Chain A
Amino acid sequence: MKVEKRRSALNKYWASGQSKVALIGGPNVGKSVIFYELTGIYGLVANYPGTTVEVMRGSGFFYGHNVEIIDTPGMYSLIPTSQEEEVTRQILVQEKPEVIIHVVDARNLPRMLNLTLELLEWELSVVLVVNMLDEAEKQGIEINLKKLSQSLGIAVIGTVATTGKGIEEIKSTLARILGEEGFPQTHITYDRQLEEILEEIGSFLQGNIYPGKRGAALQLMQEDEKSTKMFQVPDNRKIREELLASYREKLGIPLCLFVRLQRQKKVDFLIAGAVESKSEKTFLAENLSRLMIHPLTGLPFLFLVLYLGFYQLVGILGAGYVVDFLDNRIFLGIFNPAMSRLVTDFIPWPAIQELLVGDFGIITMGLRYALAIILPVVAAFFFFFSLLEDTGYLPRLALLLDSLFKRIGLNGQAVIPVVLGLGCDAMATMSTRILSASRERLIVTFLLTLAVPCSAQLGVIAGLLSSMPGALFIWFLFVAGSFLLMGFISAKILPGERLPFCLEVTALRLPSLSNLLFKTWKRIEWYLMEILPLFLGASIIIWVGQLVGIFELLIGVLAPVVSLIGLPAESSVVFIFGFFRRDYGAAGLFDLHARGVILGHELVVAAVTLTLFVPCVVQLAVNIKERGLKAALIMCGIIIPFAFFMGFVANILFELGIFTI
């Protein structure tokens, strides 16, 4: 919401004298990199179909022309089949950009040019950008851009976006088109049979229709009421339905397919002589890709990825070395003592001293937890996740885990939010927008909130338990078991069918380090902007709570529950922290362990309960925003008792001697 508001303010600012240009294209064609090169603003680039959920805007100044550039979510066709494609079509219809830059992957022109034709059907001013020319060349694909431009009747520019090749030509072409030259009119005609149908439908359409009568007629043929609403076609539904039904009868195939076949025929005709494909041999990347998804090698490869990513990078490097250095050396060694001295020297009031540098002080605890303990872990994870995204591993992971996810009412596509949840559950809950059904979004949100530990939690808990491999295993058993059990149950309880799984597996690619770092930095920035204030806010709440005694009261209320699961009363502090932020609680656990309050199997019980426990404040806020207050409260009502119940079970199993560590 906040982001949207900021953007609309920017829009107002930009509105004066700016031309609008929209970047359109399928997922993973390099749109976002081109957007960055044109505007200097960085949107998230991802090698996964459908990750650019939000619309990015930026502006550029090309040869005297002030241009607003809109980066749209990936789309396959103007007939939307997902929320994101819907968004892109909305932008075209409502914002009416003056120029459309259609970005395509040079390796896949026969498929991608279908969308170019669709855009031309709408009589839009299209500039075609053929990206990844270098990759195409490597695969023996030769493209005669000049010929392609002639047969399509529009400007065609070849680019290698990652190196900046061709970007200048996009700028100069835009300037030329927006300037005196204007846009050349180009018209694509199909076979007579289709053209006659279009004319007949068009004669029923009155008034000024946005994409033109022919464009609207094509949309109506391919779609349904959605188009009618979108283009405000006057309601002569009966005639139209009878008309369309009669064509369907006559042609013997769905109209939507008829149109697509015609279009593909046209595309094949237009690129004949302009595109030559010489070899189709298997490449290294293709072999690696097979390895990743083969039933025998896929799982070992996944474990290798998790081991390197989570254990080595996030665990050992992030949660180990960096946290140790920042926390012990910088904060506890230098920063905190210095700030304590400074505050006690200059501020005489004990209450304020307590607020700033006390046990739960904003500086000594809030800032320290956020920057020294949580941030390094989260940053390491963000880097790891960006790597997974940019290499194209995620769709392969989706393929690999589809049948497992089917068991819990989801399909492979839900892998993405779940993996992202291992970084930050709140961010992951927002990304459930890529899932197409509300039932799936609900299940994923519930599971994220319950049983997917975020990287901050994961790092601290793994760090606490890593000295006892048995403990780590029992913790994993409980968390993974809860994930599958509750997933299975929600799939049974929630009405609705599970959705078919169908996903483009985009080519593997070697990510560029600068891209990865920039993306990691963008996510860290998001973390600092959205999460850090909450950390500090939590410190203030705890301070106020302490002053008025609510904090002690809460700890007192929770103490019997905590002792029921076999933990010392002091540990209820951790759950109170956990209420403000889940990972905050984990960090508190770290402290308790360091002070020798929680030891041995109690640590496992606490870790299990805390992992499953109530979402952090941010997660709760996101759940309410994305799923509604009622659903969010019901989830909490299930999760809190369940978390303590599992802690209780773990404790009993330890007491009975069934578990030993």
Chain B
Amino acid sequence: MEMQASSGREIAGKREKALPLSQAEVGEVLVLVELSRIQPALSCRLFSLGFLPGREVQILQRWPAFLFQIGRTQIATDREVAEGIIVRRKKPSL
């Protein structure tokens, strides 16, 4: 719950357009902004797996489940989790 409260503020503070990871394309490299609407226990797990704000994440696959790469770690999640991971594009398109 506390995740959610802080997240709104965080997004508003960013200038680049933030989007959920579920909306990004395969092959895209994005920068993690924050986790939102994700239960604390799962947030903890994601943090441990390297989902930290500022790190780069690449989308390897979207279906039948999402597959991401962060550093040397690959993580599979479903759509709901991917929707809760907020990222921004590396170089904002003009």
Contact = CB atoms under 8 A, between A and B. Distances in A.
Interface in A469-528: 500-507
A379 B72 CA distance: 36
Contacts of A502: 42, 45-46, 49, 75-78, 81
Interface in B49-92: 49-50, 52-53, 60-61, 63-65, 67, 71-78, 80-81
Given A257-B53, A502-B81, A403 B64 contact: yes
The 9 residue pairs across chains A and B that have the minimum distance between CB atoms:
A76-B48, A501-B78, A399-B76, A505-B74, A77-B48, A81-B45, A108-B72, A402-B65, A399-B65
A222 B52 CA distance: 15
B23 interface: no
A257 B47 contact: yes
A295 interface: yes
Nearest to A259: B47
A77 B39 CA distance: 17
A113 to B, nearest CB: 12
B27 interface: no
A293 B67 contact: yes
Interface residues of A, number: 42
A500 B76 contact: no
Nearest to A75: B48
B28 to A, nearest CB: 16
Contacts of A398: 76
A570 B48 CA distance: 60
17 contacts: A76-B49, A77-B44, A77-B47, A81-B45, A108-B73, A111-B73, A256-B40, A261-B53, A264-B52, A295-B64, A399-B67, A400-B65, A403-B64, A501-B77, A501-B81, A502-B49, A507-B74
Contact of A248 (B2, B46, B52, B77): B2
B94 interface: no
B3 A504 contact: no
B9 interface: yes
Contacts of A248: 2, 6
A290 B27 CA distance: 13
B81 A500 contact: yes
B42 A81 contact: yes
Contacts of B74: 504-507
B52 A500 contact: no
A403 B34 CA distance: 25
Interface in A237-296: 248, 252-254, 256-257, 260-261, 264, 290, 293-295
B63 to A, nearest CB: 6
A81 B43 CA distance: 9
Given A111-B72, A252-B9, 20 more contacts: A77-B48, A110-B71, A253-B34, A254-B2, A256-B44, A257-B52, A260-B47, A260-B48, A261-B53, A264-B52, A293-B61, A395-B76, A400-B65, A402-B78, A412-B65, A412-B78, A500-B39, A500-B77, A502-B75, A502-B77
B76 A253 contact: no
B66 to A, nearest CB: 9
Interface string B1-40: 0110010011000000000000000000000001000111
A501 B2 CA distance: 21
A240 to B, nearest CB: 15
Nearest to A401: B64
Contact of A412 (B53, B60, B71, B76): B76
A621 B94 CA distance: 65
A102 interface: no
Contact of A254 (B42, B43, B71): B43
B40 A76 contact: no
Contacts of B43: 254, 256-257
Contacts of B73: 108, 111, 504
Contacts of A293: 61, 67
Contacts of B64: 295, 298, 399-403
A87 interface: no
A261 B2 contact: no
Contacts of B81: 500-502
Contacts of A298: 64
A261 B52 contact: yes
A234 to B, nearest CB: 24
Nearest to B61: A293
A406 B80 CA distance: 12
Contacts of B40: 254, 256
Nearest to A251: B6
Contact of A260 (B41, B52, B67): B52
Contacts of A400: 64-65
A402 B76 CA distance: 10
Contacts of B46: 502
Among A76, A81, A406, A411: residue with most chain B CB under 10 A: A81
Nearest to B38: A500
B45 A76 contact: yes
Interface string A89-108: 00000000000000000011
A256 B35 CA distance: 12
A403 B6 contact: no
B76 A254 contact: no
A293 B65 CA distance: 9
Among B38, B41, B65, B81: residue with most chain A CB under 10 A: B65
Among A77, A298, A401: residue with most chain B CB under 10 A: A77
A129 B64 CA distance: 37
Contacts of A503: 75-77
A431 interface: no
Contact of B63 (A77, A111, A295, A406): A295
A217 B39 CA distance: 22
Contacts of B63: 295
A406 B81 CA distance: 14
A79 B77 CA distance: 21
A256 B47 CA distance: 9
A107 B72 contact: yes
Nearest to A256: B44
A32 interface: no
B75 A403 contact: no
Given A81-B42, A264-B52, A402-B78, A252 B47 contact: no
Contact of A114 (B9, B45, B48): B48
B26 to A, nearest CB: 11
Contacts of A222: 44
A403 B61 CA distance: 14
A500 B78 contact: yes
A406 B50 CA distance: 26
B84 to A, nearest CB: 8
Contacts of B75: 502-505
A500 B82 CA distance: 10
